[in-house]
Structure 1
Amino acid sequence: MKLTDLLPIEKWIELEKEIAKKSGLNAGVYDINGIRITGYKAWQNNICPVINQDKRGQTFICAPAHQNLSSMAEKTGEGVVEECDAGIAKVVVPIFVDDEFLGSAGGCGLLLEEGEVEPFMVAKTLDMEEDAVEKLAEDIGTITESQAEDLIAFIREKIEKIVADYKAGK
Structure 2
Amino acid sequence: MVQLTDLLPLEKWVELENEIHARSGLESNVFNTDGIRITDNKVWVNRLCPAIKATDKGQAFICAVAHMNLANQAREEGRPVIEECDAGLMKIVVPISVDGQFIGAIGACGLLPAGGEVDNFLINRITEIDEETVSELCEDLAVIETNSAEEVAQFIWEKIEAIVAET
TM-score of the pair, normalised by structure 1:
0.95
1:117-136 equivalent positions in 2, closer than 5 A: 117-136=118-137
Give the superposed CA RMSD.
0.8
Offset, 1:128: 2.0
| Alignment match, 2:114 | 113
* Residue 137 of structure 2 is aligned to residue 142 of structure 1: no
Contact 2:96 2:105 in 1 (8 A): yes
Contiguous gaps of at least 5 residues in structure 1: none
Task: Say yes or no: does 1:25 pair with 2:9.
Answer: no
Secondary structure of the 1:90 match is: strand
Question: Does the CA-based 8 Å contact 1:106-1:155 persist in structure 2?
Answer: no
1:115 Cα offset (Å): 0.6
Partner deviation per Cα, 1:46-100 (whole Å, 9 max, x = no partner) = 0011111221100110000001000000000110111111111100000011101
Q: Is the 8 A contact 2:67 2:107 kept in 1?
A: no
Give the letter for the 1:143 counterpart.
Answer: I
Moved over 3 A (4+): none
Determine if contact 1:19/1:106 at 8 Å carries over to the other structure: no
Question: What's 2:154 paired with?
Answer: 153
Q: Provide the rounded CA distance (Å) in 2 between the counterparts of 1:108 and 1:139.
A: 16
Aligned residues: 166
Aligned partner of 1:96 in structure 2 is 97
Distance (Å, rounded) in 1 between the aligned partners of 2:50 and 2:129: 14
The alignment status of 1:37 with 2:50, answered yes or no, reads: no
Task: Please tell me whether the aligned partners of residues 97 and 103 of structure 2 are also in contact (alpha carbons under 8 angstroms).
Answer: yes
Secondary structure of the 1:51 match is helix
The aligned residue for residue 15 of structure 1 is 16
**Residue 55 of structure 1 corresponds to which residue in structure 2?**
56
